[in-house]
Chains A and B, each alone.
Chain A
Amino acid sequence: GIQVEQSPPDLILQEGANSTLRCNFSDSVNNLQWFHQNPWGQLINLFYIPSGTKQNGRLSATTVATERYSLLYISSSQTTDSGVYFCAVERTNSNSGYALNFGKGTSLLVTP
């Protein structure tokens, strides 16, 4: 199956700073999603981005499918951005179902 590696595993930022999270994957993908898991455990969809670039407010993401990586940019970070950011890609070798294979996540703490 597809291997998903995220970096860095942990990140501490001061409020207002910018950051870049990276996701490397080992094979071509049909689906790549970024999630934010907040301290209450909710998984919040950030981007569905198998290729290209998208922006949503202070967040943006870029996936370069040919080079098998995706980047999540957080600008002007706020304390509410704290939590774990997961990259997930569609699992291979299944005829249907297309379950997501998650990376280990980047744990982000934004301090005041």
Chain B
Amino acid sequence: AAGVIQSPRHLIKEKRETATLKCYPIPRHDTVYWYQQGPGQDPQFLISFYEKMQSDKGSIPDRFSAQQFSDYHSELNMSSLELGDSALYFCASSGRLAGGSYEQYFGPGTRLTVT
């Protein structure tokens, strides 16, 4: 079965640089979520989209932005990177609002290292 795809899997950036993470949800899933997991921490919700519109917002810094495109893939843009942004970034998708389950399926994550 198709799963959530994230790219790149690993990314190394320097302080003050920008980074763009991509997410391709499971086909026919209508909701995409972004989570950030710092070292030794639990995942924290950043932002979500339903049908290309932002649907909920968590603890996402103002330096970060995200959007969902017409083909349902989503991108997380991070600017003015800081050392503290080093983390594992997960994308998840669900088909709940299309009559599917509430279950969220997670991608493999992008490991961002800021030096």
**Residues on A facing B (Cβ under 8 Å):** 30-31, 33, 35, 41-43, 45, 48, 50, 86, 88, 90-91, 94, 96-105
Contacts and interface: CB of A to CB of B under 8 A. Distances in A.
Contact of B103 (A33, A41, A86, A99): A33
Contact of A45 (B44, B103, B111): B103
Given A45-B103, A94-B55, A99-B33, 9 more contacts: A41-B108, A45-B106, A48-B102, A88-B43, A100-B35, A100-B104, A102-B43, A103-B42, A104-B42
A contact patch SS? loop
Interface residues of B, number: 27
A96 B108 contact: no
Contact of B109 (A35, A43, A91, A101): A43
Interface of B: 31, 33, 35, 42-45, 48, 50, 55-56, 58, 88, 90, 92, 94, 96-97, 101-106, 108-109, 111
17 contacts: A30-B102, A31-B104, A33-B104, A41-B88, A42-B108, A43-B106, A45-B103, A86-B42, A88-B43, A96-B97, A97-B33, A97-B56, A98-B48, A98-B56, A98-B102, A100-B104, A103-B42
A33 B106 CA distance: 12
B2 to A, nearest CB: 14
Contacts of A98: 31, 48, 56, 94, 96, 102
Contact of B45 (A41, A50, A91, A105): A91
Contacts of A99: 33, 35, 45, 48, 56, 58
B58 A105 contact: no
B50 A97 contact: yes
Contacts of B97: 96
Contacts of A105: 42
B98 to A, nearest CB: 13
